[in-house]
Amino acid sequence: YSIIYFVSGENCESPQFTVNSYSTKDARLTAESAAQLEISVKCKNGKQPGTLYADINGHVIPCAQSVSSPGKYYVSVATSTHKHLAKGSTIVKLYDDEAYSTLRKARTDDAIKAVKPFGQVELSHPGASYGPWLPSEFFAVIVFGLIWWTAYRERSKILA
Amino acid sequence: MIEQNIEIPVDLPMKFIFDILTPQPHFINKQAQMTTQRSASQDEDLLLQDFSRNVTTKSWILFSGNAAVVSAIPLWLFWRIHQMDFSSYFIHFIIGTIVSTYFLNLAYQNMKFILKHKIAQKREEAVNREISKIFANDKNANKKDKDDRVLTRKNEVADFEATTFSIFYNNSFYLVCLIVLSFFVLKNFSPTVNYLFSVGLSTLVVFLFSTGQK
């Protein structure tokens, strides 16, 4: 007799991704830029992919998973300078186990590009700012100084 | 002599406070009063008032109120920016505010006295024109009444203008000194030192400069 396995609904189909991200905002007080993504995956059949791998900034790294809330995957990246974390939207490709093993087996660049990812999300980085060019007390001094100087001129005119 | 408009422009809120504290008698009544009750002591009083260094009660209240408000403004700055919370620093704040209120008050009075005479000289012509215009229709007026009226009006105008200008100038000077000292000179000192020295030094500077003639 033959045993036929029906493997149905084992894999995640038509996944929906929601992304919550945080990235470094202050460039003056920090030396490196970092970003963290929290990816929530919702599948049509209710299953979750086992392990997710993210291709972020050229590195393919496994995502951490939350024990208390299944379906949330975390990946983070840190760059050595602020310029290396690109401002705006960066595409992050996600691979599940199958896709990842296919990726590992691929040897040429074309083959790597041909691997179909599990999905992709966007990392939007608003940019790390260096803050205002001039401190606010500078403007306060200028404004009050002008007012005082007007008053001083008036006083000189009166006392002349 | 500088050309002046006949209507002396006054600041509306300040005038409101001034008028509340000193109800102005109607002109006709005052004129009648002056022609029927003239005496030497009134002349002396008018002259003394002009040259006296003492401020009247209403001026003193005005000055104290302003000094208190201006001394209280930096508290907000120190609380929010230098992170000095009220519960741990309230003694410093109270001492600083009281000292600066007192000396600012003195500075206002000094400057007002210095400015009043100069302003009176400058406004004399305008006041003369104003009074002449009023007296032009009245045939019964004699020169002495007109001169008295001119003197009173000049005194009143110079008093008001000197008061408001003294407050304006001293406030702006105090705040500039405070900002420069607190945020540039004493920036890296501890908050206590920062507060006490910036308030103390700016109060001292304002007070010293208020006695200057130039």
Q: What is the mean pLDDT of chain A?
A: 84
pLDDT, residue B13, reads 56
Query: What is the model's pLDDT at position B51?
Result: 61
Assess if residue A32 is contained within a domain: yes
User: Per the confidence metrics, is the pTM higher than 0.90?
Assistant: no
* CB spacing of B115 vs A158 below 8 angstroms: yes
Enumerate residues 6+ apart whose C-beta is below 8 A from B187: B194
Asked if residue B130 has pLDDT above 60, the reply is yes
Mean pLDDT of B110-124: 89
Tell me whether residues B184 and A151 touch, CB distance under 8 A: no
From B114, B175, B213, residue closest to A144, measured CB to CB: B175
What is the per-residue pLDDT for B33? 47
What domain range is A99 assigned to? 16-129
User: Of B115, B122, B179, which has the smallest distance from its Cβ to A144's Cβ?
Assistant: B179
Residue B84: HSE in the Cβ half-sphere, 13 Å Cα cutoff:
19
User: For residue B144, is pLDDT > 70?
Assistant: yes
Residues A41 and A91 in one domain: yes
Per the structure, how many domains does chain A have? 2
Q: What is the DSSP letter of A69?
A: S
Verify that A71 and A135 share a domain, yes or no: no
Which of A6-10, A20-24, B43-47, B169-173 tops mean pLDDT? B169-173
Contact state of B169 with A151 under an 8 Å Cβ cutoff: yes
Strand partners, A62: A53
pLDDT of res. B29: 45
* B180 contacts in chain A (CB < 8 Å): 141
Question: pLDDT: is A46 or A129 the higher one?
Answer: A129
* A interface residues, B as partner, C-beta within 8 Å: 137, 140-141, 144-145, 147-148, 151-152, 154-156, 158-159
Contacts of B179 in chain A (CB under 8 A): 137, 140-141, 144
User: What is the CB neighbour count within 10 angstroms for residue A115?
Assistant: 18
Reply yes or no on whether the pLDDT at B24 is more than 70. no
Rounded CA gap, A59 and B201, in Å?
Answer: 60
B122 close contact with A: CB closer than 8 A = yes
Apex B130 CA angle, B126 and B135, nearest 5: 145
Whether the pLDDT of residue B119 is over 50: the answer is: yes
Distance, in Å, from the CA atom of B17 to the CA atom of A59, rounded to the nearest integer, reads 73
Nearest to B73 by CA among B204, B214, B198, B208: B198
By Cβ distance, the residue of A141, A155, A156 closest to B179 is A141
pLDDT at B2: 53
SS3 assignment, position A55: strand
Task: Please indicate, yes or no, whether residues A112 and A50 belong to a single structural domain of this protein.
Answer: yes
Per-domain boundaries in chain B: 60-212
Would you call B76 an interface residue with chain A, using a CB distance cutoff of 8 Å? no
Domain shared by A112 and A142, yes or no? no
Query: Do A60 and A112 fall within a single domain?
Result: yes
Judging contacts by C-beta atoms under 8 Å, the chain A residues touching residue B198 are: none
Question: Does some domain include residue A104?
Answer: yes
Percent of chain B with pLDDT over 70: 73
- The CATH number linked to A124 is 2.60.40
State how far the Cα of B180 lies from the Cα of B48, in Å rounded to an integer: 41
B138's CB contacts (< 8 A; 6+ apart) are: none
Residue A23 lies in a domain: yes
Q: Are strands A64-65 and A72-79 parallel, antiparallel or unpaired?
A: antiparallel
Q: Check pLDDT > 60 for residue B146.
A: yes
How far off is chain A from B115, nearest CA to CA, in Å?
A: 7
Q: What is the pLDDT of residues A91-117, one digit of tens each?
A: 888 888 888 888 888 888 887 788 888
Residues A120 and A72 in one domain: yes
pLDDT at position A36, please? 92
Q: Say if residue A88 is in the same domain as residue A35.
A: yes
ipTM: 0.71
Same domain, A58 and A22: yes
Query: Are A123 and A159 in the same domain?
Result: no
CA angle at A105 for the pair A103 and A111, rounded to the nearest 5°? 60
Residue whose pair of structure tokens reads 């974390």 in the numeric block: A85
* Average pLDDT of span B35-55: 60
A104 in the same domain as A146 = no
Q: Cα separations (Å) of B167 from A56, B9, B91?
A: 64, 17, 27
When CB atoms are compared, the residue of A148, A154, A159 closest to B213 is A159
Asked if A44 and A20 sit in the same domain, the reply is yes
Judged by a CB distance cut-off of 8 A, whether residue B213 touches chain A is yes
d(Cα A33, Cα A11) in Å, to the nearest integer?
Answer: 35
Is pLDDT above 80 for B96?
A: yes
B108 to chain A, closest Cα gap in Å: 14
A5, part of any domain: no
Which of A148, A156, A159 minimises the CB distance to B172?
A148
A9 CB contacts (<8 Å, ≥6 apart)?
A45, A47
Cα B20–Cα B167–Cα B181 angle in degrees, nearest 5: 145
Q: What is the pLDDT of residues A118-127, one digit of tens each?
A: 888 888 888 8
Provide the CB-side half-sphere exposure for B189 (13 A, CA).
Answer: 14
Assess whether A123 and A148 both reside in one domain. no
Give per-residue pLDDT as tens, A30-44.
888 899 989 888 888
pLDDT value for A159: 85
Span A66-86, pLDDT tens digits:
888 888 889 998 888 888 888
Which residues on chain A are in Cβ contact (under 8 Å) with B118? Answer: 158-159
